[in-house]
Amino acid sequence: MDIILASGSPRRRELLSRAQLEFTVISVDIDETPYQDESPKDYILRMVAAKAEAATKQLNIVLKDIGADVSDASESLILLTSDTIGVLPDGKTVLVKPNNREDACHMWQQMSDSTHEVWTAVQATQLSLPSKHPSEFDTEQVWKIINQQQIIERTEVTFIALTKEMMSEYWDSGEPTDKAGGYGIQGLGAAWVSRINGSYTNVVGLPLAQTLALIKEMTNTATL
C-alpha cells in the first residue's frame, strides 16, 4: 500500500527514511492558530485532522486534473499527517512555532530550569479509489476515506536555567523559527536539554516506533 507523508518537515522525512520506508511527500498549508481556551489534546488532534483534509483535497484535485484512470493509480493508500507542540506544566498552555524573537523568549523563560512536555499527534488515513474514472464525478471528492486512526505521544523534556544571553544567541542562529517550542533537540537546542523521559524521535517531530506500528496496524487491517 502506498504511503504519503503530508508534511513539509525535513525532520519527519528523515526519520521515516531511516526506517527504510518508501513514501511520497506533499506539503499542506493550514491555519495553525489555537482556539481560545482550546486544550492541547483538542488542538493537536484538530491539526492532524485538518492537515489530512487539506491533503486529501490536494490529491483529489491532482487526480481529476490529470484525468488519470484509476487503473493506473494505486487502489488505496495511507496518508500520514503529524503535528508537534510543547505543553507547559500547567497542562493547558500550548507552545507552537514562535512568531518572533519576543515570542520565542517568552516561551523559553517559561521552560527555563523546569520540565515541559512535547506532544506529537499522528493520524493515519486510509484512502481508496472508486471504480469510476475521476472525470465522471461531479464533486471534488474522488478519494474515499475508509479508515482513520490517531495517536498522541508525550515526552518530558527538562531544560537547564537559561540566561538572556543564551536565548539571544540561540534566536540569532536561526534554528528556532520553524520549531514547536522554539527549539530543536537534534540541533543547537540540545545544549539546553538536561534530560528527557520518553521518545527522543517524538521531540524531533515524529515518534518513529509508534508511527511504524500505526502504519503496520492499518496495513494489516486493510488486508483482512
Q: Which of 11, 48, 68 is nearest to 189 (CA)?
A: 11
Let me know if 83 is a catalytic residue: yes
The torsion region of residue 187 among left (phi > 0), alpha (psi -120 to 50) and beta comes to beta
Summarised one tens digit per residue, pLDDT across range 1-15 is 789 999 989 999 999
Total count of residues recorded for the chain: 224
Catalytic residue among 2, 83, 90, 172: 83
Domain that holds residue 17: 2-223
Summarised one tens digit per residue, pLDDT across range 23-38 is 999 999 999 999 988 9
Number of domain units in the chain? 1
Segments of the chain with pLDDT less than 70: 61-74, 130-141, 222-224
- In the three-class reduction of DSSP (H, G, I as helix; E, B as strand; rest coil), residue 34 is classed as coil
Instruction: Report how far apart, in Å, the C-alpha atoms of 98 and of each of 11, 91, 95, 183, 218 are.
Output: 18, 19, 8, 10, 34
State the pTM of this model: 0.88
Residue 216 has which C-alpha cell?
A: 503496520
- CATH number assigned to the domain comprising residue 61: 3.90.950.10
Give the Cβ contact number of residue 18 at 10 Å. 10
Q: What is the pLDDT of residue 68?
A: 43
Q: What is the pLDDT of residue 144?
A: 83
Q: What is the pLDDT of residue 70?
A: 39
